[in-house]
């Protein structure tokens, strides 16, 4: 024996289904946006680190000049970025310039899915050109 649901009961059933599914969909959408923002910031940090390393390696810039290049590339982004530039020692066999940039995840994204104290970090190493 089959019972046909009335139109009122069907709409009530649709509301219950929506109440069960909507929070999951919203959590998924927020997670995608949060991860996308973190990925975007990591991409900008990589570009800034590459520009800073190029300044120090090719143009023979100082640590302060390389940090200024990276800071200007990241000037439009919220958050406290830590920029570290390591220049080679004169006469050393290793002539690499390393630029590392890090930022707390909570500064640049919603941080719902990041552990406390977690950081985004990227680094670039370039060979210093002579001459």
Instruction: Please name each of the domains of the chain with its CATH number.
Output: 7-127 (3.30.1300)
Q: What is the pLDDT of residues 73-97, one digit of tens each?
A: 999 888 899 999 998 877 666 788 9
Is the pLDDT confidence value at 2 over 70? no
Share of the chain above pLDDT 70, in %: 83
Q: What is the mean pLDDT of residues 55-81?
A: 89
Closest CA to 85 of 121, 47, 129, 124: 124
Alpha-carbon separation of residue 91 from 54, 70, 87, 95, 125 (angstroms): 20, 26, 12, 8, 18
Alpha-carbon distance of 113 to 102, in angstroms, equals: 18
pLDDT reported for residue 49: 95
As a whole number of Å, the end-to-end CA separation of the chain is 92
Q: Do 119 and 104 contact (CB within 8 A), yes or no?
A: yes
């Amino acid at each position: 024996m089959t019972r046909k649901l009335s139109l009122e009961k069907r709409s009530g059933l649709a509301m219950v289904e929506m109440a069960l599914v909507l929070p999951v969909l919203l959590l998924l959408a927020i997670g995608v946006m949060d991860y996308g923002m973190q990925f975007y910031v990591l991409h900008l940090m990589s570009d800034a680190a590459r520009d800073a390393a190029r300044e120090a390696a090719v143009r023979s810039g100082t640590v302060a000049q390389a940090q200024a290049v990276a800071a200007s590339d990241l000037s439009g982004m919220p958050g406290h970025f830590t920029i570290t530039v390591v220049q080679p020692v004169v006469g050393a066999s290793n002539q690499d310039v390393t630029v590392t940039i890090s930022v707390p995840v909570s500064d640049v994204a919603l941080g719902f899915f990041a552990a406390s104290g977690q950081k985004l970090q990227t680094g670039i190493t370039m060979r210093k050109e002579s001459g």
